[in-house]
Homo-oligomer: A and B are copies of this chain.
Amino acid sequence: MADVIYMKVLQDLKHRIYSNEFPDKKLPDERSLSESYGVSRSSIKRALNILAAQGIIFKKRGSGTFVNPLYLKNQPIFHNEGSNLGVTDSYQIDGQAPSIKLLNFQVVPANEDLQQALFLSPGDFVYQIERLRILEDVPFMIETGFIPIKIIPELSLGDVEGSIFNYVEEKKKNAVTKSFMSVMAAPSTANDQALLALKPTEPVGIMEGIFFLDDGTPFEVSTMRLNYKYMRYNAFVSLDSE
């Protein structure tokens, strides 16, 4: 992926944006970027379109391309940087991935909700995986995931202490690239408070999702409970492509 031109341009531009290289929030025009990077304008546009879809920049025809001030105002936490949608890739900070503390790992029968979400039959089993995610020594997320055992029957204790999405990508050559997400807020439970070092008045952010493999197979149902300070979900919404 890194050998692809538009990805190189994208990474470089993102770095320059975060380095505040454009204090007036205006990027060079596409034709200048094309020349300075030595690539076609199409490749520049492709990189810019992705940055726009990620909410980092926006474009105004006739005027130029601008850094989204909302995006830089606070530190964005959840950003889809990697080759898949997993927590490990999305919560990188300065290239450092969050570490994992395994809380629970077992195989259970899929209940009705899980059967429907993961296209399973009665009697099918799923892994239940509960993990605490830690970023720079701060536990910030409790993650409970359910994965059909038939998709990765060989999953071991060691595997679930690392990135499962990366594991699947490497071993199965099938990345998790799509998801339906629901983002919510809720009061913290006693368990949340203990694990995430929250006061009783401090809430959790909740991200619930169904994750799909690239071929459309539902891979995991996951509920993530976050220290509210670490949840900032950015999205670009457009009615154009309806």
Q: Is the interface of A mostly helix, strand, loop or mixed?
A: mixed
A25, B116: Cα distance in complex, Å: 8
Closest to A226 in B: B185
Contact B58 A234 (CB under 8 A): no
Q: Hey, what's the 0/1 contact readout for A184-225 against B, CB within 8 Å counting as 1?
A: 111100000000000011111110111010111110010000
A63, B214: Cα distance in complex, Å: 13
Chain A interface residue bracket vs B: 35 or more
Q: Assess A210 versus B70: contact at CB under 8 Å? Given A205-B184, A235-B181, A239-B83.
A: yes
A201, B205: Cα distance in complex, Å: 14
Neighbour of A178 across the interface among B181, B186, B238, CB < 8 A: B238
Contact B228 A184 (CB under 8 A): yes
Q: Hey, what's the 0/1 contact readout for A36-76 against B, CB within 8 Å counting as 1?
A: 00000000000000100111001111010010111101101
Is A182 interfacial (CB-CB < 8 Å)? yes
Closest to A180 in B: B55
Q: List 10 A-B contacts (CB under 8 A).
A: A10-B241, A53-B241, A80-B239, A183-B234, A184-B231, A184-B232, A185-B204, A186-B228, A203-B203, A214-B240
